[in-house]
Structure 1
Amino acid sequence: MRTSLQRDAAKLQPFSRFVLLWLGQTASGMGSHLNGFGLGVWTYEHTKSTSLYSLIALASFAPGVLVAPLLGGVVDRHDLRKVMMLGHAGGAVCTVLIALLLQLDRLSVGALLALVAGGAAFNSIQLPAFAKATTVMVAPEQLPRANGLMQLGLALGSIVAPLLSGTLLPAIGVTGLLAIDVGTALLSLGVLQGLRGSALPREAASPVKASLGRRALQDAAVGWRFIRERPGLVGLQVLLTLMSFNLGIIQVLVTPLVMSFADVRALGAVMTAGGLGMLAGSLVMLAWGGTRRRVWTVLGFVWLQGLFLGLGALRASPWVVGAGAFGVLFTLPVIMGCNQTLWQRKVPTGLQGRVFAVHSALSGVAIPIAYLLSGPLADHVFEPLMAAGAPWASALGPWVGGAGPGRGIALLLLLLGLATLLLVAACTLLPGIRRVEQVLPDAPTDPLPGPTP
């Protein structure tokens, strides 16, 4: 027998079914943000170690880069609903184990890192699976709207979760935040169970003679080969990877940049401006969906992002940096939403798990590289270059509002903004990129999934 939730979900139109799935995924993502914030604060309070805090952050991020490309074949060959349920269930089990060890006072550093990484590995399958589920649940003309919703969910997680964490952590402690994470995972599992429908499109099964590890590597190679053989997609991949690198640099260096000339309240205002920009961009993407040729929206908004990145470096002013942060994060949901729509239209459904997994991993790998490089670049290259009295400070100072503390970071951001503008100009001149939607045929559209008895 079906539950009442399954009967209600079966009556929904396809886009309404997608919205229900989106709500579950967004709630689970919010819980994961609360989990990450709580564990990070707990780790730092109990160890006072910045290095360990950084290791926790790395453990929560690295599996998305290292493991996700190997899971694309799982997404393509199995029922998407069951794959997503496995991801949520595995992540929830890791969170429960952390909470249990914490309550028993047996949570070692090694166990914490292993369980955080394990949970992140399970959750890493959600991105390619959700992107593919969007393709098969939503009519092609509604993909921009659906991707706008996806970006809105990410924006809400980035804005609401830190605010909730700061309020809830003193009241319910880290164990309470972990419980909320498990609860949101169970909610998402319930939604997926309620959306039980016919098997979503998958690759036809073939005899498997290779080992599991070798098959995973072969799947990653298939995804990479599909991208490599299409110059337009390679160009977009390079563009998105540079954007991710820029965002990683900004995430690390915006705090020392603002604190070099203002106080923590100004830093909070700049962070708020960035969050509001991301929320506004998500709403614009949801309402507009981009131009008919999405590649021009991607190129145009990446160009705007480079412009805003440079703008935020021009003066040592919270207003200027805040305006730059708002603009940079305003462009992000539009870029990501239109880029996702383009790839969904051009990649065959049977390959989307593998291609999307490699695509997201190649973009994501730039972020930890940026984390590693940002400190040394700022401390040992750009800050000394722009120190008061340094040989280059007088020549370059007028471009970044003077010399002294923080102006080296501003110069680095200005150069990244200029590099972005130049890369977009180069992409615009390459026919394979600017005409990618005309050169590559649309992938065949699979029928929308219907309910099963």
Structure 2
Amino acid sequence: MTSNWRAQIRRFLTAQTISLLGSSLVQYAIVWHITLTTSSGAMMTLSTLCGFLPQIAISLFAGVWVDRYNRKKLIMASDGLIAVSTLILAILFTAGYRKVWLLFAVLLIRSAGTGIQTPAVQAMVPEIVPKDGLMKVNGAVSTLTSLTTLIAPALSGLILTVANLEATLLIDVTTAAVGIAITGTLHLPAGTKAGAEQSSIADIRQGFQYLKKDGFVRRLLLFQVVMLFLISPSAFLTPLMVSRTFGAEVWRLTVSETVFSAGAVAGGLLIALWGGFRNRMRTTLAAGLAYGVLMLGLGLAPSFGLYLAFNCLIGITMPCYNAPIIASLQERVPPRMQGRVFGFMQIVTASALPLGMVLFGPLADAVSVQILLILCGVIASLTALASLLLKMLEPR
């Protein structure tokens, strides 16, 4: 651990935030361009799959690479891959070759790059930050991510009103270059790396063997699958509820997303300043319990104003739920295994929410969204409460 770790982590988070902002701008711009030019639900479904499937497919191998190779260089390489694909798209669009399949191809590449970058970033943080600072740093990460999520849609829309898609793409190339340059200035201690003498398949098998041995990590991943599956209606179906119940005006959808993001920023600041309970998992379980109760509130809200209040509070719970999970894995899992464990976590995250929508999406056309929110909120609350009382996530 370097003595100037605070300066190092500030530089690292600055680089990641700049890169994330550019990526978010392009992600919104591409999806909106597909929406406006095709007006096709099938095309929107395809764009969603292009955003999720590559992350799931590559995460197992990405985890091996994170454990095997230099994490800083891996982050820079994945950022560079995303930037180069975006630059090629900008050049082709400028030259008049504006085929929609190019957008899907770039979404696939960007998703694969994210699938490599995310576990690399999560595994690199404990190389910089001492254990007693991990919770607050992860809270800061959550704050910066939520702040980016808050401003990116408005900023992307503003750019698209005064410029074209190509200009937005070039902004992402620029922010990626800045992020790579800043990351390249970091000076990190040599970490413990897994040996490269065996195949990637053998390394993946070793990762599963670690899960079999570490009951805490295994139970945590299972809990995450269940909770993310249950909260999927609140993550994806609330716009449908708002339009059906309170009115189909665009401003209502915008305000709903904005108050959630604002709540997430506040929640990130809360966990960064407070640090959570001494027992990490009690913070996560308390936040999960609160999330379930608040989902119940969303389903029962009699007015749009009360709905917004519950939605903002849900935003606050999210960093309090996520940050302790990441910090616990960073503290507990050996450095040589962290890439694979965070790869498993990314598979869970990238698959549980869409799987929930496979069930709850069609159900939303047969019953009201409110019923789904109430039902899933009750089950999520009981799941978190039972896990807390039975100490299912206590390290043993």
TM-score (norm 1): 0.83
Tell me by how many angstroms 1:326 deviates. 1.2
Answer yes or no: is 1:17 the counterpart of 2:17.
no
Query: Which stretch of the first structure deviates more once superposed, 355-364 or 74-83?
Result: 355-364
**Is the CA contact 1:313–1:414 (under 8 Å) kept in the aligned structure 2?**
yes
Q: Out of 91, 109, 120, which is 1:129 matched to?
A: 120
Tell me by how many angstroms 1:151 deviates. 0.6
Structure 1 residue runs of 4 or more that deviate by more than 6 Å after TM superposition? none
Tell me by how many angstroms 1:25 deviates. 0.6
The CA distance in 2 between the partners of 1:372 and 1:168, in whole Å, is: 34
Q: What is aligned with 1:258?
A: 242
Of structures 1 and 2, the one with the larger relative CO (CA 8 A, separation 6+) is: 2
167 and 12 in structure 1: CA distance in 2 versus 1, 3 angstrom threshold: farther
343 and 95 in structure 1: CA distance in 2 versus 1, 3 angstrom threshold: same
**Is the CA contact 1:72–1:354 (under 8 Å) kept in the aligned structure 2?**
yes
Superposed CA RMSD: 1.8
Cα offsets for 1:308-328 (capped at 9, x unmatched): 111111134212221221122
Q: What is aligned with 2:61?
A: 70
Q: What is aligned with 1:241?
A: 225
Q: What is aligned with 1:372?
A: 358
Q: What is aligned with 1:170?
A: 161
**Is the CA contact 1:25–1:188 (under 8 Å) kept in the aligned structure 2?**
yes
- In percent, how many aligned pairs have the same letter? 25
Q: Out of 300, 311, 314, which is 2:300 matched to?
A: 314
Q: What is aligned with 1:362?
A: 348
The CA distance in 1 between the partners of 2:241 and 2:196, in whole Å, is: 54
**Is the CA contact 2:144–2:265 (under 8 Å) kept in the aligned structure 1?**
no
Tell me by how many angstroms 1:288 deviates. 0.8
The CA distance in 1 between the partners of 2:268 and 2:112, in whole Å, is: 27
Tell me by how many angstroms 1:43 deviates. 1.4
The CA distance in 1 between the partners of 2:192 and 2:210, in whole Å, is: 19
**Is the CA contact 2:267–2:316 (under 8 Å) kept in the aligned structure 1?**
yes
Secondary structure at 1:235's aligned position in 2? helix
Q: What is aligned with 1:278?
A: 264
The CA distance in 2 between the partners of 1:26 and 1:244, in whole Å, is: 25
Of structures 1 and 2, the larger Rg is shown by 1
Q: Out of 328, 333, 353, which is 1:347 matched to?
A: 333
Answer yes or no: is 1:40 the counterpart of 2:28.
no
Secondary structure at 1:250's aligned position in 2? helix
Tell me by how many angstroms 1:12 deviates. 8.1
**Is the CA contact 2:294–2:377 (under 8 Å) kept in the aligned structure 1?**
yes
TM-score (norm 2): 0.94
Tell me by how many angstroms 1:198 deviates. 4.6
Q: What is aligned with 1:289?
A: 275
Secondary structure at 1:202's aligned position in 2? coil
Unaligned runs of 5+ in 2: none
206 and 158 in structure 1: CA distance in 2 versus 1, 3 angstrom threshold: closer
Count of aligned pairs = 393
The CA distance in 2 between the partners of 1:245 and 1:173, in whole Å, is: 37
The CA distance in 1 between the partners of 2:344 and 2:205, in whole Å, is: 9
Cα offsets for 1:188-221 (capped at 9, x unmatched): 1101111144544322x3423x4xxxx2x43333
Answer yes or no: is 1:225 the counterpart of 2:209.
yes
Cα offsets for 1:242-261 (capped at 9, x unmatched): 33224432232111111112
**Is the CA contact 2:220–2:393 (under 8 Å) kept in the aligned structure 1?**
no
Tell me by how many angstroms 1:48 deviates. 1.8
**Is the CA contact 1:30–1:161 (under 8 Å) kept in the aligned structure 2?**
yes
